[in-house]
Amino acid sequence: MTEGLRPSDPARIGGHRLLARLGAGGMGVVYLGRARSGELAAVKVILPEYADRPEFRARFRREVAAARRVASPWAVPVTGADPDAPAPWLATAFVPGPSLAEAVAARGPLPPRAVRVLGRMLARALTAVHDAGLVHRDVKPGNVLLALDGPRLIDFGIARAADETALTSAGVVVGTPGFLAPEQARARPATPAGDVFSLGCLLSYAATGRPPFGTGAVDALLYRTVHDAPDLDGLPDGLREPLERCLAKDPADRPTAREVDAALGGDTPCDTADWLPDDVVRLVADRSAAILALPDIEATALDAPTDGPPPDVAGDTDQAPRPGGRRRFLLLGGAALLAAGGGAAFWASGRDDDPGPAARRWLLGVQADLTGPQKAVGQAQERGVRLAVEQFNARRDKPFTLTLAVADDGGDETRAVRAARSLAADRDLLAVIGSTGDRTTGASLAPYDAQLVPQLTASSAQSVYGVAQPRHFLQAVPGYMVSPALIALRLAEAGAKRAGVLIDRDGGIASWQLGHTTFQSLGAARLRAEPRVVPRLARDLAPVVGEMLARKPDGFVYTGTPARAAAVARALAARRFTGVRVLGYPAAGREFLAAAGPAAEGWQVFAPYIDPSAARVRGFAAAYRGRYGSPPPYWAAEAYDVARMVIDRVAGAGARPSRTRLYDLLAKRPYKGLVRSYAFDEHQQLKGYDLFRYEVADGRYAYAGEASF
């Protein structure tokens, strides 16, 4: 993926004519550049604010030295660098293919043979890294690029000499959660054995389409990496045993990278695309075609207009290419690519047959759990979005007619990936609202992100999804870490001095984030907290409740599931506890009321969904009742709000917006909805504390209004 140069970008760096942006991070920008030789390069340039720091420049100098020490055909080579330049830069050979993460997101798990070849080549790359006395420390799918003749390991930004122990602050976790080793999760020094563990995680991901320690919040990933067995279900025959050895908790039990190469067996084809499935070959070809299609080089801030060529380009080696020049150069590579496999013939088809905006549909997608464990929420959201679309289409002044596409993922991660791929593949799709739950939302991020589809969830509230930062995702619901501050405030207002916090791991990431943050918020409010964590397999929570009550709390918070919340409520009632009781909202619902019975009375909930009786959504409630013949359930108004926000941005764009343009309009412009105002921070999360309080009375959740500080 590339984007055009900005006016503030340099025109040249270190003899490279810059053609486009490949990406940007917090510390620098990576450009696509053309050297005087005509070769393409990925040129990493450090931002001035970091270049001025001696310690950062020293770190960058180590990165350059580390990358130059690795000699392997499967590691991207350094083609030039100047860590002492005013703007330090590092150039490596450009690989036009996708990352492994992008390929798996786009097409799913790789075939067994492809995984074996991938593993052997990366094992050889790591062998070269380790033979050079280095540890990579961040082997992950995003740091592996796929080329027709094999993979390339990239990014030696945090690589270190194996005997360097003082370069990282104590207690700092280095690497990518979900792909780093248990010892790295414990902030211990990285070793070559840690790279082997990461390789095992990466190959498991390539073979199954999911990380072996799941996805979710960083702390949950680190915990599972240290304590839980990896999820290797679905690994093909012959891969499970070598990967189990790679994923041993004890570094001493893992093979070396050289031993992994031998254990995987099979052939390792060179200079051929035979190792990759056809759809990945097409993806490589598509990326290469995108480079071919780059527009002519435009002037940037550092391009001074002259009457003739600049002094350093009097010849023909480094001037801006004549019309068609770059294309002729790239077609030399294209000829080899076309000869490598039939999949690359995709280059020649379908590039110029766009019928134009007038002939395209204006399509809005909904991905939801309509038949699974969260079907009540999913169905409410689908109806809310549908109502918004129908109201828009009923307008006489509508600039276009909006079509709704609905995908049911059933609350299942595998189905969620398939649903996301299916919706994202439709070129007319503008944006998608969904999914319903945390796991299905996390699973669907990569397929949508690979196609640049703006994805907005109205109900999934976890703080982190997976191991990569999605570029086109917005969390249009307050996160799990918002309500704990209001819970602590409520306990303090009620006069509580000591609160028990029961975190039930059966509730997954939501339970942990709510409970852990509540514990921290209680401390900030100067309340004594007594936390307990119960495992997922615990059957009887009454003894834990009894132990917690022995500490004489006057407040109690439970985060977990509705069924086990009911058991906790009954245990508290049996011991005549009368203090303030608060339920993490994922544990609330009809199931809790039915199972707890009278013991549910008095429990309070702070939730992101508004009650349909609230004055601000009465118009919506009346329209919903008129359309569907029943009052709206929880979560319908929130989905209706988010759909109206998307429709407003599309209709107000002036012309059909690209997906990237639409995402920018959504992310950067606040929107005033019925339920709340929607404005997003730099982490793509909703700003503000718009939550609503409920208290169980007479067997139902009585709406107590908006919760606020």
Indicate which residues carry an active-site annotation. Answer: 138
Element (H or E) spanning 20, and its range? strand 16-24
Spacing of C-alpha 475 from chain mean position = 11
Q: Using alpha carbons only, what angle is made at residue 59 by residues 57 and 60, rounded to the nearest 5 degrees?
A: 65
Which token pair is 33? 């550049």
CB contact set of 69 (below 8 Å; sequence gap of 6+): 132, 133, 134
On the 0-12 / 13-18 / 19+ scale of CB atoms within 10 A, 617 is: buried
Contact 638, 459 (CB under 8 A): yes
The Cα 409–Cα 665 span in angstroms is 28
CB contact set of 354 (below 8 Å; sequence gap of 6+): none
**Owner of token pair 């791929």:** 421
Contact 615, 607 (CB under 8 A): no
**Residue 683 — φ and ψ, nearest 5°?**
-95, 10
Computed from CA positions of residues 458, 463, 466, 469, in that sequence, does the dihedral angle turn out positive or negative? positive
On the 0-12 / 13-18 / 19+ scale of CB atoms within 10 A, 709 is: exposed
Contact 378, 639 (CB under 8 A): no
For the chain, first and last CA: distance in Å? 44
Contact 468, 446 (CB under 8 A): yes
The Cα 593–Cα 584 span in angstroms is 14
The Cα 650–Cα 501 span in angstroms is 45
Other C-beta atoms lying within 10 Å of the C-beta of residue 270: 10
CB contact set of 357 (below 8 Å; sequence gap of 6+): 655, 656
How do beta strands 473-475 and 455-457 pair?
Answer: parallel
